[in-house]
Structure 1
Amino acid sequence: MSTVTVQDFAKELGRPVDELLSQFKEAGVAVTKADASVTAEDKVALLSYLQQKTRSTSGAEPRRITLKRRETTELKLGGSRGAPAKTVSIEVRKKRTYVKREEPEAQDPEALREAEEAAARVEAERELAARAAAEAEARRHQEEAERKLKEEEAERQRTEAEAAAKHAEQEHTRLLQEDPLYRAKWEAEQARVRASENVRRAAEAARTMAAAPTPPPGVAPGAAPAAAKRAGGRDRGAAKGRSELHLAEGKSGRRERKTKKPSGRVRVENVHVFEKPVAPIVREVEVPEAITVGELANRMAVKATELIKVMMRNGVMATINQTLDQDTAALMVEELGHKARMVKASDAEDKLEQAVSGEQADVETEPRPPVVTIMGHVDHGKTSLLDYIRKTKVAAGEAGGITQHIGAYHVETDKGIVTFLDTPGHAAFTRMRARGAQITDIVVLVVAADDGVMPQTREAIQHAKAAGAPIVVAITKVDKPEADIDRVKTELTKEEIVPEDWGGDIQVVGVSAFSGEGVDALLDAILVQAEILELKAPIEALARGNILESSIEKGRGPVATVLVRAGTLKQGDVVLSGPHFGRVRAMFDEAGKPVKQAGPSIPVQILGLSGAPDAGDDVVVVADERSARELAQLREQKLREQKLAQSQALRMDQVFAKMGEGEVKQLNLMIKADVQGSAEAIADALRKIPSEEVKVNVLSSGIGGISESDVDLALASKATIIGFSVRADAGARKRIQDTGVDVRYYSIIYDILDDVRDAVAGLLGTETREQIVGIAQVRDVFRSSKLGAIAGCLVIEGSVQKSLPIRVLRNQTVIYEGVLESLRRFKDDVAKVEAGTECGIGVKDYNDVKVGDQIECFQRVEVRRTVSAAA
């Protein structure tokens, strides 16, 4: 028998729990808590108690009692057309009232039985009626759900039909505008339909005239039926309470008729009557800086094939996906009879730049250190002079004794901070010197007293004058016996550089990087010139600057050297440079020490950009990161389109010129350098090598070590790889051995130019090549009081020989070149160590060897020159 708690029983009776507990207590039932169980005997006891209490109160037994029952059931209705099933709750409520009748003195048992059966039948009929009502309600819910599903399906089909009709109409309109063949067919079909309609109308008119009665006198034949017809139409319209709208002759039409094809598309007939324009349509076409042939044809509403034909007639070979420059596109627009309106892509770029930079508040400017660029001819002592000022030995680490990278250093002197930019003097580094002159405040022109004015000296003077930077001349090597300062001044006067002691306005100071003579006077001259310029810049503002150099280093990613021009660059700032964007993860000064911020005129190296930017690009700390990301993507897309347009611009005259050249040998080269500026300088210098027999093609130029993909590209294009201060990794070296690709390593730029120039000229004979003999991996570093740093190494390739020169590599980049000072196996000096053997190596005049570095042993051999050329 099921039991319930006092709380459930109180809820069923609709009475408070406390009242029910007190009544149980008065009835003698041991129930004290709301969660106590109540049995049927407890309920009977409570009922007896309440009946006695009621009798004692009212004086008579109750003759009527009402009981209420409620039953809840659920019916699941299956959905139609894939609709989910629904559950319908059905509640049946019963209310029964029992009346106590006075028992008759004598009652017939048969009559009593019939009464009970009648009562049972009535109860059964009530239950059947309740169930039938519940089932009817459930059917109503199901029918309502099915009706809603049908309405939704009909609405969906109507929407699809409208969309298909709209699409068909748009496609029809587009084909009429773009496809002349489709337009001609459609016009022919419309002419045929109109001709059929005219024939039908003529036949109908003939039948009407034949059946019409004889008109009365004074009425023209055919007029009476028409008048009667119009009158009848007016009468019918008047009878219906409306007026007819009559169209002019030839303007009547039928409603659109839509038919659905088996494929689901809707065909629209008799949409409108096309009228061919009597004059050509002249459109105003927007022409951006770069646009494809297909897009230009769409803007002019002509087929791309027609545009290509016009371009071929004008001597321009192009495909539908080829990108055209703005001038060519405008010429084609005018050839087809339209008006071209030039649109600059910089409009959207200017808006993004304004959002990126934000509103520049008026910030107080403060004095800043001067930026001084050292310029001059190669081997005139620029870096040596700077070394003396910085008290370092940068020149000792330069291959061949010449500067081949642009360097940036700030020096704290007794008279203030000065930032120096050291530029290469070789002719190939013209762009580096030009960039240095553009971002500098003062140019120090270095001229050797024993050499005089040379070609790169004249070039440096031109760059400084073009940039409008004041010049201070430093005549170096004045301590040499063959020095002639007056001759140098005379040669400078010919270049319009007149010294102050000769009546001019140019400060000229004689210095010696060996003894230090005149260095203080040179610093005084620089600071005096800086005071005259009154150099100032805001400090508490968003930083702006320029990229001096960039590279990609293993383990660090893109590394950019930035010269801050204004504001303060901080670690964590979001910066934008050209098409590259990122957050500054770390900052280092020129000595490699981490710094947190850099002010105006201070050079730093930053990590965190998405790629290596080009030298000379602007750097700006962004105010809106989202706009900066959009601007970077826009610049990247623009750069990609420009490169594509330049590579695909092939005109017909060029095709004929190539056909007349016949067999021309080509020397394909791939350049991999350590920094962006060197790669740019080498590529420019190689492209300028003149030759009528051999054409030099620089297929690609990049930064970083040589990878397997570079070797595969060189193998496919029959190119020679030039590695400038970089090396191939292990996978690339194995690939080079397997394929035999020609890879040449260089550390001095004029060696590259000399070798390529000799190869192009077809000079045979011998040449000096570097051949790697062995590579040793540094496993540990030991310190010796006599020999300094001793590298504990394991020879991993070839052999290490004491008589051969070596290079120290870090992350596949050359950081030092010299000779072995000692080579030992345990305590014994040895002359050669083979692969797989441990040894101790001491590098002469170099103590910065670290664990993980590689020591490369190589030899220079004389080999017969061979030129790899492809027809």
Structure 2
Amino acid sequence: MSDVTVRSLATLVGTPVDKLLEQLAEAGMSFSGPDQVVTPTEKIKLLGFLRRAHGRSEAAAADAAPRQITLKRRKMEELTVPAGKGKATVNVEVRQKRTYVKRAEIESPQDDEREEAQRKLAESQARNEAENAALEGADQKRRDELARQRAEEEAAAERARQEVEEAARRAAEETAVASEERPRRAHDADEGRAPVVRREPAPAPRSDKAARPARPARGGGRDNAGGRTGRGELHLSDAGSARRGAKKRPTRREAGRGATGSHSFSRPNAPVVREVAIGDSIVVADLANKLALKGGEVVKALFKMGVMATINQSIDHDTAALVVEELGHTAVRATDTDAESTLIALTGEIQGEVEPRPPVVTIMGHVDHGKTSLLDYLRRTKVAKGEAGGITQHIGAYHVETPKGVISFLDTPGHAAFSAMRARGAKLTDVIVLVVAADDGVKPQTVEAIQHARASNVPLVVAINKIDKSDANPDRVRQELIQHEVLAEEFGGDVQMVPISAKQGTGIDELLDAILLQAEVLELTAVRDARAAGVVIESSLDKGRGPMATVLVQRGTLKKGDYLVCGTQYGRVRALFDESGQQVQEATPSIPVVVLGLSGVPDAGDDFVVVEDERLAKDVAQQREAKRRETRLVKQAGNRMEDVLAQMGQTDGQPQQLNLVIKADVQGSVEALRQSLTALSNDLITINVITSGVGGITESDANSAATAKATIIGFNVRADASARKVIEANGLDLRYFSIIYDVIDQVKQVASGLLGKEVREEIIGVAEVREVFRSSKFGAVAGSIVVEGVVKRHKPIRVLRDNTVVFEGELESLRRFKETVDEVRAGTECGIAVRQYNDVQPGDQIECFERIEVARTL
């Protein structure tokens, strides 16, 4: 524990400063004032004085010592027992348990206590002996059982051996009889006699008087049936021999080869009608497998119906049902017997006692307004020092144990992940704390945070930070927030506004009281003793640990070893880590933890649920992946401007919606584009601008476009790397323009149906300026490296600074060392001179593009 002052110690223990100074003086320590430091030794001395003053002695601590101790011992032994003709070794485990009582308890001066201790000792000894005897009896019983099992196994083996020997003896006798019969039959065949049938003598009865064997008839005369007897043999007549030969028994191979009989295969005469279960969509190849047909036949049937689909494409339920009925089968809706339905049934059956849970608070606000500094003060660490440049690069999830209670905090960088979670429909937070700097006022990201809170229907608490600065003006912040319909309680509104200082700690207790007051109004509860369920806050792939996901438990208790399914990923929890990197065994509701053991990296905003076993988790994950693949294949674009015209007239006169996201370099261009494009709406199409702003296209803009299926228009601005990933993943329509009339013309052509040809600008290469050199011939020469594509000398270029176009023109010169070249590819350094532009700076990007004509298609 670090040194603290008298004042902070009094605040910690809840005692007035004057009273604490008196107690220190009574303990023999003199302090001059409340700001003097109290060392740990002086704290221990004060604690001993207070114990003595309240009547507690050293002997009181000894009363808590254990009065008896129980020792357990386990010993492994090997026992040899006879087994058949040999011996077998059996492992025997002997367990012993002894209880020792404290001698002071036995040798107590009081007689009744001594007798009681002796009685306990005797009972413990008797119990130990009984347990040892029971263990030995169990071991002996186990040895007897093993010996009995071995004896039974040997007896069974002996019986099997005798049966095998008996079968071999009978086979040998039959072989010998057959060898004797073969030459005799051959001799009879030579003389023209019928074959001889030898009959086995009947078995003799087991009695004292044995039956005598019947003697053969003497003489060679014929009997009444026409048979001949002689030499103790019975011969068949010629007619009987012929009849016997005609009814020859077929061999085993001939019997198995027979085509007629009760077990032979008969081709069905009626066609087989199958019931095919079809979901919302199905791949043509899967439909062919269910119909037991080749994929080409299903594709041919689709072509006859006017549907052009390949074997790897997906079709909707109605189209698949028509194909099934056309091919003579019956189509039924897929039943809810899949793994997803089983998971829903399991999660719906969760019952248990509802308990209060801590609130989940999201810290939002503009850059450098003190969001992370506020969390630093709350949890007594310095996260900002570990971030690049003091700016938060990822979501931080922490739970803080304050004197007012436990609160979980989420720190979001630029609200990008928060937007992604809201786009997926995940409600993650209970209260939003909006941090606004008192010396800076309301900024664009402050307004964006207010929009997020209003869209998510989450209560808002405003923390007016940096009130310790000389130019701080909290009233100005309150006035500016009124313009965005955020009215403070002082002005008759419902939003709590707390002035704080994240550096000095001023107003932090009032902020915590405001948060907990909102939590009490919301009455936040959750079931603790149940299977865990929650939301993924962020995820990453670590080289040493594999997939890692930071999750927030919303219900139940997440434990180490649980099987869980998380979006399209599944796995078993191998380890849980808290925000400080320490391993924990479980996580209760509203507590964020890092999970290891998933099969892959889930997406931010995915739900996770704990299931019974790994098989169900794997089935659910695979089914979700298959549904996502089918949705991606059957998904129509719907957000391209050309597709809007193609869908006109398919909604029974309802106008189509064309949503746009507009980002431009200046505010004037934004307003001009907004007014010009919305004025193009007519009876067939309605143009809506859902989001507009100044600056480059960010990940938040891309997520908003993905949610509304909107087309993104960039006017003299570009999308950053994170935004391009979202655009590519969702297949969004992104278009760059530099002339406002081109934007209006394209939208107008789509709205009026006059598509014609389209001139598009395709970026073929981007070079990053590393250094700028001055030349007497060319002026400013940019020493650059090509980072994407290829830069060509005869193509137009643009100069970008912070993703904003600052110049458009063409190249004056493109060189490699001292030679002029026509093109430079990615990863290669070059010198670029821009014609009629000498303000190139290190860090700028030179974008090379070409204009191409593309015929529009419906």
The structure whose RCO (Cα within 8 Å, separation 6+) is larger is 1
Short-chain TM bin: 0.3 to 0.5
Q: TM-score, normalised by structure 1?
A: 0.46
Q: TM-score, normalised by structure 2?
A: 0.47
Q: Which of the pair has more CA radius of gyration?
A: 1
